[in-house]
Structure 1
């Protein structure tokens, strides 16, 4: 029998953060070749999650065969002044051999502060024994500041509690998250300069669209314009190949108009961003859990795609985009919520409802977002070492 490289062990923590799950690493715990960006790092993360898997199941890894659970996080003590921890997020493709580093994961942000506290990345002098520990996070993918308010009890992170988050089965401790200056990247929050654009999509037609860089680059369209109601659940979309192709085409042409890609073909290798979502005025529906959501309980309906599939709830970064767009009069999100000025919205998603607040201001004809706020929760599921074959990178 020919010799085979033995497996190596890498310290890791498996977290649920918001409605996502991911594998968390300290940068200096990774093999030396993976401590800098490049092929070795990507290959290790792919192997940890069990990708690429042509069966789409990630059986031979920690991924759970959905975009919400095929994620990796690398954290280090921050080199950015005024911050505690540097946070780098990788969206790991399920069936293709690549890791997308182009954006943030807002859901897993809820676990970043907790991990940083528990793993010595926050100065002990700044950690209270009880109450809230404020962790200043530098989000390296997009170069933005996020502040997490992590509950503490007897010197340890408090994970259990009674905060309920639709899309998560069990209650946990509430973690409040502030996204400061959440516009994604260095360009305008509205890359075309308009709060509503005409988006020409071959084979589909001309759609009204709000193209926004806040939280994560997002393309909002009206549900009715693409044949939907805004009450769709995962099976309504994810089992329909024609629907998936239509939504991916909208995403690709929206990415082109936003200047995120230079050629339509590039969209295939940039799956994490931008997101595409559709909005509608409120109406009642039954969530995937069987919970009844009344029209009176929400301001609008939103459904969003993630990595080519309808998300089971709502991405945290897309929630920031929703909150910011809702605060700006005239966007499709704002109009679906009834128009006017508003500091917060509660929207309906496939798993239930979520409230997000945001503040935006117009200066010299340009809209800027100053802050977006939401609550999430996080919990360690397992910690120790993850193993990968020594010849995987």
Structure 2
């Protein structure tokens, strides 16, 4: 698929850029200026779409995204770790949700093209930075997995890659067609990009997406598939929540290898301990984890649900699960294979990494509203 840009797509790309500024900018002298510009853009987007919200149909997801963001703010206040900037960012994140909702329902094709264009550029720059700046841009973390590249750590590429693949199939309506030269070329290209990221998480998610692509011949899926997805996610999450158990840790170490996985189980154990000690509101925004395998300071629990529970407490965690499970259960469950191909690898990513709130909102809002739109337009997004 060629990159196509017109004024509408360009404006949508700028909107996405403002909410997904490259991590690279933190290490450039002009980064602070651009950050201020992006903040102004986010504020204007939030104000504009907050106004438009009064004139569009209301949905189940509106309330729960709002509660998810408000509960984070309340937890930060209760733990005395909040800042004015964080409270303001919650409003801007809800503005981003409204921006997504409106454009996915009204301008879905243009929005998907803008995301495709921006994210393929991001991934190319990420791969280039990994190979030309091997030690990364953060000189204080020039070795190991903490190295910071264009988008951040090497695993930061994964959700962008998943979303890129999804936009390609939505725009080309190829999930149910016999593979073409065009599709084969695109998949070969994205596979090479995935391999160049040196991220095992990205590779696992890519393979999962491709398996879904070639499993079955119908775009529409039955509820049994989504129920299986929900069951597997809950079982794996329960296993991770039990990682304090020495038996579970040993089993995971055997399955995934000590060198790559034992550090995670220790971080998970720390996150569970923080959560148990501060059940309702968590430990606050400034939480960190120090696994005893290498003593490195880690600022993420390497599991999105655990990170939320440790940082914000049980209320935010429950809302997070309701939002997730609404995609695969109830009347709002996904009915299309392309959208399921976005959700399942993202769930895998959530199990292994801590997704940013803005990326979580992007993926969940996309699956929710395109599921509604495709149901109204015979599985088409235009």
Q: TM-score, normalised by structure 1?
A: 0.31
Which of the pair is proportionally richer in helix? 2
Which has more strand, going by share of residues? 1
